[in-house]
Structure 1
């Protein structure tokens, strides 16, 4: 089984990720060369900035799938959303206007890097109470967690999942992010990986180097859980 990337901005023209079908196809070629076999497209949803509706996203996913097939690209593509949490979001979720990860109960949720921990915890409790399993996107960005890694464990104990970016594992996102992520990995507090790919140059869908480091520094069992087993079990039932 190839790697599973649960966080990418590969749909063309819907957010600050891929700007065109050609760029999306090149991103897919890079991902395939990196050993990725499955990607979840997670375009941003942020009130007042990125608001593409579910039907439009599904249409674009269908077009990308068709173009990829014609190009001989074998990566399986699915839809999700990276949702920036704000008050009142629950109404849109109840109306099923926002996409979950591959139409499961798992929800990729983003916060401001400088948000207070109490706000994040209360938001996650709200989503759990609605029957969702919130996945905290790129937790290495949240300063309240970086300052106290036990808070990541607390979120996980509540029933949340933790996602980190592959570039943070390899050090491409800075030494601070790398140090924090490896602190979480040593305690096996991370559940999912995402490339958070936005383009073909500065934010590529790269996973191979990350996988090499995980197999070298973590147990083989945990590395495989991160690279594909957790996502295969929970997001592709």
Structure 2
């Protein structure tokens, strides 16, 4: 039994060290911008292999230099009450749980998430693309650290600068140049809605070879986003956002 107790202590110590690493890394992002994410590194390896330079695009853009049109469009597309919740949307997670229970016996990759912007950020920054309940548990812990340590605006800034927007296209700076050859500050309502509609399946939006049967109806999503952009808040107080 001694070896079992020793092994348990080692596993617990490793888990604690890993959580401390996450907390320290997130704390540093109060002053420094993330250089890349776990998802971006995985994509770089997939596309580039051992060649470091292979066309991946990512240009950091400060929050104030990103069009409010794009910010609102992304909120409608991904998480319309981002500035009001504390990292998770329990109702959405319950719906995801119910759907996952209906899919018991299928591949783990079939699991659904019901993720908020903060949860997506936690996954992209630190975790693999595998979807299982252990990874989901770690995602929730990282989500809590992000929400406790960083203000909402900073979380949104990091998300907008790190999310995938096409094959090898990461962040709004690269996306606005890739699709429209303009700066993020100049994005119109229509351009913003188009970019936001891509987020559920950005590779498909960028290149038809990644689209599967029953792919997202991007024009319909864009129309929905345009119709709802003015109702979302860009601050914790819904009354404080300008139109």
Flag the structure with more relative contact order, 1 or 2, with Cα contacts below 8 A and sequence separation at least 6.
2
- TM tier, smaller: under 0.3
More helix by share: 2
TM-score (norm 2): 0.25
